[in-house]
């Protein structure tokens, strides 16, 4: 399978719940780039979207798009094209650098609550080694936590037995301080399907076992590379 798909694609729906839906634009790609539409009283907010055939039909089930938010500095994806198509702005966390200038669409700087959506932006990581600027979203009313990159469910995130795994590059320095205060009912991630049941337990386990399972994950990755 390719790491990242391109060209025309038919999306695969994921993570539908009473409050939104997600999709993977290229179901066969290794990276399993996941995008989400959060249905709020403020309208539909798209998080790190990748475009796909049929996307506008999926979004139309919920109503008008209110805006797009970028949660990771590397996740510009198709935010600009989708924003122009729907006539909305791309919202970039106020402290995130090197992103706004690369987006060919109206930009708004975001902090605190995302519009009037009920979702609060918070900083997960802002580091130069490795280069990484990431913001999460949390809605305390419906228990939804969105983590764009630090944790995921794509195969290369997961050691044996894990439902949710810390990113391979962060295994030795998991984002414990940023995430342990949350007890979510569901976790939506930027790579792979979300965790929609027992999410708080899955998050605690991922953070607690991040270091101890690191060698197992790296060994699995090496074996897949050799045999793949």
Per-residue pLDDT of the chain (228 residues; tens, 9 = 90+): 566 666 667 899 999 999 999 999 999 999 999 999 999 999 999 999 999 999 999 999 999 999 999 999 999 999 999 999 999 999 999 999 999 999 999 999 999 999 999 999 999 999 998 899 999 999 999 999 999 999 999 999 999 999 999 999 999 999 999 999 999 999 999 999 999 999 999 999 999 999 999 999 988 877 665 554
Has residue 61 been placed in a domain?
A: yes
* pTM of the predicted model as reported, rounded to 2 decimal places: 0.94
Model pLDDT, residue 219: 84
What is the pLDDT at residue 32? 96
With left for phi above 0 and alpha for psi between -120 and 50, is residue 190 left, alpha or beta?
Answer: alpha
> Per-residue b/e over 10-34, b at no fewer than 16 CB within 10 Å?
ebbebbeeebbbbbbbbeebbbbbb
In a domain? residue 51: yes
For β-strands 20-24 and 120-128, DSSP reports them as: unpaired
Asked if residues 169 and 212 have their Cβ atoms less than 8 Å apart, the reply is: no
Greatest extent of the chain over all pairs of C-alpha atoms, in Å: 49
Structure tokens at 164: 């949710």
Specify if 115 maps to a domain: yes
Residue 207, domain CATH: 3.60.15.10
Give the C-alpha separation, 9 to 52, whole Å.
Answer: 6
Residue 1 lies in a domain: no
Total domain count for the chain?
A: 1
Instruction: Answer yes or no: is 27 within a domain.
Output: yes
Contact 152, 165 (CB under 8 A): yes
Structure tokens at 29: 């790609």
| Contact call for residues 22 and 36 (beta carbons, < 8 A) | yes
Task: Let me know if residue 66 belongs to a domain.
Answer: yes
**Is 5 part of any domain?**
no
The pLDDT score that the predictor gives to residue 7 is: 64
Residue-number span of the structural domain to which 23 is assigned = 12-227
């Amino acid at each position: 399978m390719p790491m990242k798909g391109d060209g025309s694609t038919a999306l695969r729906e994921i993570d539908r719940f009473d409050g939104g839906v997600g999709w993977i634009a290229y179901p066969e790609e290794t990276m399993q780039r996941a995008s989400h539409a959060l249905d709020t009283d403020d309208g539909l907010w798209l998080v790190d979207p990748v475009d796909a055939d049929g996307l506008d039909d999926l979004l139309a089930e919920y109503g008008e798009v209110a805006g797009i938010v970028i949660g990771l500095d590397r996740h510009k994806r198709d935010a600009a094209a989708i924003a122009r198509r729907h006539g909305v702005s791309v919202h970039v966390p106020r402290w995130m650098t090197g992103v706004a200038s690369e987006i060919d669409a109206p930009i708004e700087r975001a902090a605190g609550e995302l519009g009037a959506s009920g979702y609060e932006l918070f900083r997960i990581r802002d580091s130069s080694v490795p280069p990484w600027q990431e913001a999460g979203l949390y809605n305390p009313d419906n228990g939804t936590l969105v983590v764009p990159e630090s944790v995921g469910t794509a195969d290369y995130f997961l050691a044996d037995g894990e439902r949710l795994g810390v990113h391979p590059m962060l295994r030795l320095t998991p984002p414990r301080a940023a995430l342990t205060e949350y007890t979510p009912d569901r976790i939506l991630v930027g790579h792979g399907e979300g965790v929609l049941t027992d999410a708080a337990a899955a998050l605690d386990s991922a953070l607690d076992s991040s270091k101890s399972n690191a060698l197992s994950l790296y060994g699995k990755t090496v074996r897949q590379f050799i045999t793949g």
